[in-house]
Amino acid sequence: MHWTEMDRDELERQLSPSRWSHRMSADDVVKAHVNALKEGTERARALAQTLLNVPYGEGDGEKLDVYIPRTDSLDVPLVIYIHGGYWQFLSKEESGFMAVPLVDKGVVVVAVGYDIAPKGNMDLMVSQVRRSVVSVVQQYSHISGLYLCGHSAGAHLAAMVLSTDWSQYSIAPQIKGAFLVSGLYDLLPIQSTYINEPLKMTEEVAIRNSPRTLVPQLKLSSSGFHVVVAVAENDSQEFRKQSQEYYKALEASGLNVTMEDVPNTDHFNIIEQLVDGDYHLTKLLLKMMGRS
């Protein structure tokens, strides 16, 4: 069923990932998710050398956390992780967890902070993540490859980074790959739900910030560039549909894109398990970076 045919209650149910987990109740799955991310990030901070709260702009929220492998090599891949939380929860403080298996393989992980709603609006958040990528490229000129990873609202923001017209910036980052996990790529359905209350998006803002409609202007060099669109088996139909439609749009535009439908996962543990080097998506990410 298309979202325009759903009543508000059904649409809100479709857009509430915590109500779709088979593992535990909605409240418990969110609590467990935050705890898992925090624990993973604490482990990453113990394992890696860290540079915390590195500014990428003037704003208080415009800061990065960098997790650096103990390696002498100057030729290191770098992954920028953009956290989820429906553009209104979570922060970079719980977003270093994927560094646990990656720093061992000589990969730098950067967790991006941005101003969540109600302080930040959608246009600002998109601008912030774009500027964070430019700043990372300027600060780490010796990286062998730049990759993006985002979860949920973070996958939306990562997709918006891919849709950037870099001619308006001082530098055009050469992004080699993107890992978009359980994301939303069309914001129009959100506009009429409770999720939009702190965001206050107008229809115009929702359209302007929907990666699905921006695919035709993707200016990515297709050589060697790879996008993975991943979705959980137990994501809602709306989340699964949005991932499939975005994947198909990328494929139709001639990009090298893979769809990963991850079995036995829900919206939360699909990303939590990136703390584990043996997890399917971790292996896929390492393979994309030539580090498997």
Q: Give me the active site residues, please.
A: 152, 235, 267
Tokens of 40: 């993973």
Closest CA to 110 of 124, 92, 126: 92
DSSP secondary structure, the chain, as one string: --GGGS-HHHHHHHT-GGGG-SSS-HHHHHHHHHHHHHHHHHHHHHHSEEEEEEESSSSTT-EEEEEE-S---S-EEEEEEE--STTTS--GGG--TTHHHHHTTT-EEEEEP---TTTS-HHHHHHHHHHHHHHHHHH-TTEEEEEEEEETHHHHHHHHHHT--GGGSS----EEEEEEES-----HHHHTSTTHHHH---HHHHHHT-HHHHGGG-----TT-EEEEEEETTS-HHHHHHHHHHHHHHHHTT--EEEEEETT--TTHHHHGGGSTTSHHHHHHHHHTT--
